[in-house]
Amino acid sequence: MIRRIFVAGLLLLTVALSAQAQDRTIQDVLQEHSDAIIKSSRKTIGPAIDAVANSALPEAQDVLQAWQSKDMWVREEDGLFFKAEKLDSKTYALTDFVTGEPAGEVAKDEIDQIKPNSGIRAMLGAALVQFQLNDPDPSLRRDALLAIQRDGEESHLAPLRASIANESDPEIKELKEVTERLLTISFDEDEAARVAAIEGFRGSLSLDTRAALNPIVTTEVVYAEELSANANVKRILRAGSRDLSVDEAYDLMVEAGAVTPQPSVSERKAALESNIVDGSVGGVSVEDLNTQEARDRAYAALADAGLVPAFDPDFDKASVVTGVQFAEVYSEPSAAVASAAEETLKSISRTVGLNQFFDLSLDGLSLASIYFLAAIGLAITFGVMGVINMAHGEFIMMGAYTGYVIQQIIPDYTVSIIVAIPMAFAVTFAAGVAMERLIIRWLYNRPLETLLATFGVSIALQQLAKNIFGTQARPLTSPGWLDGALQFNDVVAISYIRIAIFVLALIFLGIFLFIMKKTRLGLETRAVTQNPRMAASMGINPDKVNMLTFGLGSGIAGIAGVAIGLYAKVTSELGADYIVQSFMTVVVGGVGNIWGTLLGATMIGFLQKGIEWFNPSNTLAAQTYMIIFIIIFIQFRPKGIIALKGRAAGD
C-alpha cells in the first residue's frame, strides 16, 4: 500500500514538473541570465548561451540569431528582451520572442542594445550549429555541413555527432559522417579516435580530406642537440646532405643560439668607420686600410679591446656544422596520428594518380574526337582525289562563322545550333563544290600546283572573313544544357560540350560508314578510289564523283567548325589552328581510310595530352615533340596505321 502511494506521488510530481516546464518560456530563460547577457562578457556568457540553446523551446533559434546579429534589445522599464527593428532615428518596433507578435513601438532611449563582441558572436554561431544541422530543410542542413567543412571549429563536433543518429536523408547522413571524421582529425583529443578517422579516409579523393591531413604531416628542420625527448621526429639529418645544406644548418644553429654569428663584411666595415679616432682605427692608419688584410688586422684590434664582436678570419661554416645532428620534426605531437596520416596520404596519392590518368584519358579522347571531326573531311578528299587541300581549315572556319550568323538570327541557342549544323554543311558543301569546279579540277595529278593554289584560297578566305566579321573573336554560345561539366569526383571531370562533340563524332562516323557502304555515292567513291579508269569504263563519272566527294569533305569540315566554335574562339584564324593536326591525323592514320583517320586522331589526341601533362607550361614545346614523334613514326610506317590500296596509295 505504501509502495503504491509512493509511486502515485512520484507520478504526480513528474506531471507537475512537466507542466511547469511546459509553462516555461524563452523569456524566462533570458531573465534567469539577464545580468550575464547585459554585461556581455565572454568569460561569463557561456552558461547563458547554453541555457538558451538547450532549452528545447522553438523560439531558441530565433533568439540566438537575433542576439548574434545585434538585433536583440532589453527594455529598461521591465528588463524584458525583444527583437527590435529601427523605424526611424528615434523609434524602434519591438517583436516578442515568445509569441513572435509585434510588442509596440518605443523610443530609442527606452531600450538598450545587446552588443556581443566577435568572441561572443562566434560562441553564438557554434550554438546555432545544432539547429542548422537538424533543420527540416535538407538544403539548409547540407549548407551548414559544407560551411563546417570550410571553417570548422571544435565546438561544432559535439552537435554534429548528436545529429547523425536522427538524420533521415542517406546522402546528408554520409556527408555528416565525413564531416565528423574531418573534425575528429583536427579537434578530438582522443588519439585512437583521430587515428581511426584518418584511416577511414584511405583512398579518398576529397580535397577537404587532404586539407585536413596535410597540416598533420607538416614538418620543420630543427637543431637537434637540445631537442625535447617528446618531439615527434620524422628523421635525423646531417649538414651537407641533399636535404640540408651547410648554410641552412649553420642558420639553424645560430637561431638556436648554439653558435655566435660572425659579422659580415658590411658589418665589419661599418664598425671600422664608427671607430675612427684621429685618422686611425685599431692602431692602423686610415690610409693603410686599402687591403683586406689591413682591415682584418684593425678589426681584430677593436675586437681585442671589446669594442666590436669577435671575428675569426679562418672561420668555416662546414667545420662548425660537421658532426652536429639536425632533425626533421612533425608539427603533430602524436607519432601514431602522424604515421596514420602519412600512410593515408600515400594511399590518396595512388588513388589520385589513377584518377588523373583516367582524367587525362578523357581529355585525350575528347581531343581525339575534335581532331577526328576536323580531319574526316580532309581524309575523304585526300584519299579519293589525292588533293592536298590547304584551305580545309578555312572550311572549318566558315562553318563556325555560319553558326555565329545563325545565332544572330535565332536567339534560342538550342534551336540555333540544331539549325546551324545542316546550314554549315550546306554552305561549306557549296563552297567546296565551287572550289573543285573552279580550281581543283584543272590541277589533278599536279600536287605542287594544287598545294599552292589551295594555300592561296586559304589566305583569301581568311582575309574575306576579316573584312566581313572583323578581327575580334565572335561568340558561338552553347545551349544552357551544355554548361558545366560531368563531375565524377574531385579529380575527374569532363565538360558537357566535349561530351557533345564526342557524341557528334560518333554520329558522323556512323553516317560516313553508312554513306560509304550503303549508298550509290559511297560505292562509286570506293570504285574511283581503287581504280578510276576501271570505274569510268563501268559507267561511273569520276569527274562527278570527285566533285561530290570534295563537297562532302568540305561540308563535314563545316559541321566540325560549328562543334569546335562552341568552346574555341571564332576568328578568321580558327581553321589554321587545326589544319596541321588534321593533316597529321590523316597521314598517321592512313590516307583515305576512315578507320585509319579514327585511329590517327586517337593516337595524336592521346599523344598531345600526354606530352602536355609532362610539360604543362609550354604547349608549343608539346606540339613540337608531337611533330618529331610523328616524323619518326612515318619513317617506319610511311603509309600510316592502315594503308589504303588504290590511287591514293600510289598503286
Q: Which domains does the chain have, with CATH numbers?
A: 2-121 (no CATH), 134-213 (no CATH), 219-330 (no CATH), 356-649 (1.10.3470)
Which one-letter DSSP state was computed for residue 645?
Answer: P
Residue-level pLDDT at 648: 44
H-run or E-run covering 327: strand 325-330
Residue-level pLDDT at 649: 46
Residue-level pLDDT at 383: 62
Cα 344-357-480 angle, rounded to 5 deg: 105
Angle in degrees, 0-180, between the axes of helices 542-565 and 520-530, rounded to the nearest 10: 110
Cα 312 from Cα 15, distance rounded (Å) = 89
Map grid coordinates 553508312 to a residue.
Answer: 514
Cα 630 from Cα 611, distance rounded (Å) = 13
Helix (H/G/I), strand (E/B), else coil: 81: strand
For residue 129, CA distances in Å to 153, 157, 211, 378 come to 11, 10, 22, 62
Cβ atoms of residues 615 and 621 within 8 Å: yes
pLDDT tens for each residue of 126-180:
788 878 888 888 888 888 888 788 778 887 888 888 889 888 899 999 999 998 9
Query: Which residue positions in the chain have pLDDT lower than 50?
Result: 1-3, 5-21, 646-651
Note the helical H segments in 188-245: 191-199, 207-213
Cβ atoms of residues 446 and 577 within 8 Å: no
For residue 240, CA distances in Å to 237, 245, 247, 328 come to 9, 5, 9, 15
pTM of the model: 0.67
Helix (H/G/I), strand (E/B), else coil: 310: coil
Map grid coordinates 658532426 to a residue.
Answer: 323
Residue-level pLDDT at 644: 55
Sequence-separated contacts (24+) of 420-425 with Cβ below 8 Å: 420/562, 421/559, 421/562, 424/398, 424/399, 424/400, 424/555, 424/558, 424/559, 424/561, 424/562, 425/399, 425/555, 425/556, 425/558, 425/559
Residue type, 449: E
User: Which of 71, 200, 179 shows the shortest CA–CA distance to 129?
Assistant: 179
Cβ atoms of residues 207 and 288 within 8 Å: no
Residue-level pLDDT at 19: 40
H-run or E-run covering 372: helix 335-385
Cα 226 from Cα 255, distance rounded (Å) = 13
Map grid coordinates 580558327 to a residue.
Answer: 574
